[in-house]
Structure 1
Amino acid sequence: MPIDAAKALAAEPRSGPITWTTRDVQLYHLGIGAGIPATDPDELRYTLESRLHVLPSFATVAGAGSPGVISGLSVPGVDVDLAKVLHGGQSLEIHRPIPAAGTATAASRIAAVYDKGKAAVLVMRTEVADAQGPLWTNDAQIFVRGEGGWGGDRGPGTRPDPPTGDPDRTVERTVREDQALLYRLSGDWNPLHADPEFAKLAGFERPILHGLCTYGITLKAVVDTLLGGDVSRVRSYRTRFAGVVYPGETLRIRMWRDPDRVRVTVSAVERDDAPVLADTVVEHS
């Protein structure tokens, strides 16, 4: 069997240093659409080094996204066809605000392996800490089609109930035609997001936007709209990738406010509100 769950779970964490600078943070923010209008004081918090605040989703690319989802699968007990791999979801826990520049240690391991019958789900956990202590914990949920069925733990069986009633806020964000080309400079060089021929081979009419770019665009919208632009209020953020986004499309972001969390759905306006992100929750102070 290509996935040996016991072996994967027992493997030692892969640890290494990561570093980032204000330039990396600025580039990431530009890659998720910050800086429009360029002179808006609220946008300068994301783009001007003297005022720079770090959106927590930067954690997904800090240190050029190392270890990345694909490289993170190179562990004992995991030998899969990368063409069958899908990034199914992402969750992030922020232990304290991310500094605008820093050096830290990232430790990555397979934290869970679930048998979904027709697919296996690997939870790749990355824990990052600097000299002052823990910074963030990232969990990437990776679906591997065709690798289930060995009788293992199916994992969590329920998803949160979808929001009901009218959203408290709805905003739309236009994805620029060059958004994926800019975002990939933060470390995800998958040609699926840039090469039209590669995208067609993968079954798409043209290159698609990175799911983690949509993830960042959405968190920025929540912070700017409901959290007063205060990035330090974000405690955790999780989502399930429910569909693709094509550069040039418009994202419709609906938000339902609870006392200590915001529930969110994201859809593609031009494709009859086709779902993009689901089961999305931002927990905050």
Structure 2
Amino acid sequence: MPIDAALALAAAPRCEEITWRAQDVLLYHLGIGAGADPDKDRPATDPDELRYTLESRLHVLPSFATVAGGGPPGVIGGLSMPGVDVDLARVLHAGQGLTLHRPVPTAGTATAGGRIAAVYDKGTAAVLVMRTEVADADGPLWTTEARIFVRGEGGWGGDRGPGALPGPHGTAPACPHGTAPAGPPAGAPDRTVERPVRPDQALLYRLSGDRNPLHADPAFARRAGFDRPILHGLCTYGITLKAVVDTLLGGDVTRVRAYDARFAGVVYPGETLRIRMWREEGRVRVTVGAVERGDAPVLSDTVVRHT
């Protein structure tokens, strides 16, 4: 069996040193659309965008943590852990969580320790939960949790885990730990914004570390069951957090405390994201849809917790 749950769970954490510089942060911000003109009424040199694109004013969007140091152990790291041997073409990123212990520095060196925290048997598929703790000399910085869906690898009679809602093309599971409430809130959203995705967005975003050919190679994408390369889920994740910070948190990246999302569907480069936001006490609930495909769900069960 390609996934040995007992071996994967028993494996020692895989630790590595990660280092990032201001230019890595700048590249990540460009990869999620910073410096563009989302509202069609201000230039890329607007001060609100320069905080993401000019080193002398740089603020780090917390979702950068998912790629800091070229991408700490997450989706790809989870696939190389003991007890895991799967075909990359069968893998989908099902969801992502992030908890901030301190604001992300513009540059730094830290230790990232990643391990498989859970393995679920969904019958026709498996779900791996890859948890990574990152700390520097001053203490904990952030914790990430990548939920990895592997088609065709279930059926060994293991723990099914919580949640079984469909995701991209009916394949991916719900957030295993229930950290985000299911379904959109009742009532009209407090804010709705649209963010265009550039046709070359995936090619730019992949320079931050995720070189999965699914996002660049048409032949590989077809083998994985898609008409053409799809956008990284974590790119959509970053675009969405930036929209929430810019729209409802006054552009203050330090107010974000945690962020969790389920990847409910794919995004194709060149599409437009419609991001709906509902304010609640201490948090913003969010849904994201692809405008050109009738608001097909992209992110669901999504929450940004803030001060």
Query: Helix, strand or coil for the counterpart of 1:98?
Result: coil
> Is residue 125 of structure 1 aligned with residue 137 of structure 2?
no
Selected match of 2:101 from 95, 99, 108: 95
| 1:114-170 deviation line (CA, Å, top 9, x unaligned) | 122221111001110000000010100011122222222222238523211100100
After TM superposition, list the pairs within 5 Å mapping 1:118-157 onto structure 2: 118-157=124-163
| Aligned match of 2:40 | none
Which residue of structure 2 lines up, in the alignment, with residue 216 of structure 1?
A: 238
- Over the aligned positions, Cα root-mean-square deviation in angstroms equals 1.3
Give 1:7's aligned residue. 7
Q: Which amino acid aligns with 2:245?
A: V
Aligned length: 285
Structure 2 residue 285 is matched with structure 1 residue 263: yes
| 1:178-237, Cα deviation, whole Å (9 max, x unpaired) | 111111111111222222333233332222111110000000000000011010111111
Question: Quick one: structure 1 residues 78 and 197, their matched pair in 2 at CA, closer, same or farther if it must change by over 3 Å?
Answer: closer
- 2-structure distance, mates of 1:105, 1:16: 6
TM-score (norm 2): 0.90
Aligned letter for 2:58?
Answer: L
Which residues in structure 2 correspond to 1:1-285 (within 5 Å)?
1-36=1-36, 37-157=43-163, 160-162=181-183, 163-285=185-307
* Closer/same/farther in 2, CA of residues 26 and 9 from structure 1, 3 Å limit: same
**2:39 alignment partner in structure 1:** none
Measured after TM superposition, the shift of residue 7 of structure 1 is 1.4
Counterpart CA distance in 1 for 2:205 and 2:104 is: 20
Question: How many angstroms apart in 1 are the aligned matches of 2:203 and 2:89?
Answer: 22
Give 1:206's aligned amino acid. R
Shift of 1:259: 1.1
Return closer, same or farther for 1:153/1:199 CA change in 2, 3 Å cut-off: closer
Gapped regions of structure 2 (runs ≥ 5): 37-42, 165-177
In structure 1, C-alpha distance between the alignment counterparts of 2:209 and 2:296, rounded to whole Å: 27
Following superposition, the deviation at residue 39 of structure 1 comes to: 1.1
Residues of 2 paired with 1:34 and 1:236: CA distance? Answer: 21
Query: C-alpha displacement at 1:41, in angstroms?
Result: 0.5
Q: TM-score, normalised by structure 1?
A: 0.96
- What amino acid is the match of 1:141? R
Q: Which runs of 5+ in 1 are unaligned?
A: none
Instruction: Report the AA paired with residue 214 of structure 2.
Output: L
CA–CA distance in 2 between the matches of 1:173 and 1:157?
30
Cα distance between partner residues in 2 of 1:71 and 1:126: 10
CA distance in 1, matches of 2:220, 2:83: 29
Matched letter for residue 18 of structure 1: I
After superposition, the C-alpha distances for 1:54-91 in whole angstroms (9 at most, x for unaligned) are 00000111011132422332122222222222111110
In 2: Cα distance, 1:245 partner to 1:152 partner: 32
- Give CA deviations for 1:83-107 in whole Å, capped at 9, x if unaligned: 2221111101111100000000000
2:182 counterpart letter in structure 1: D
Q: Tell me the secondary structure at the aligned position of residue 287 of structure 2.
A: strand
Q: Which amino acid aligns with 1:88?
A: A
Tell me, in whole angstroms, the C-alpha distance in 1 between the residues paired with 2:63 and 2:71.
11
Closer, same or farther in 2 for the Cα pair 1:120/1:199, shift >3 Å? closer
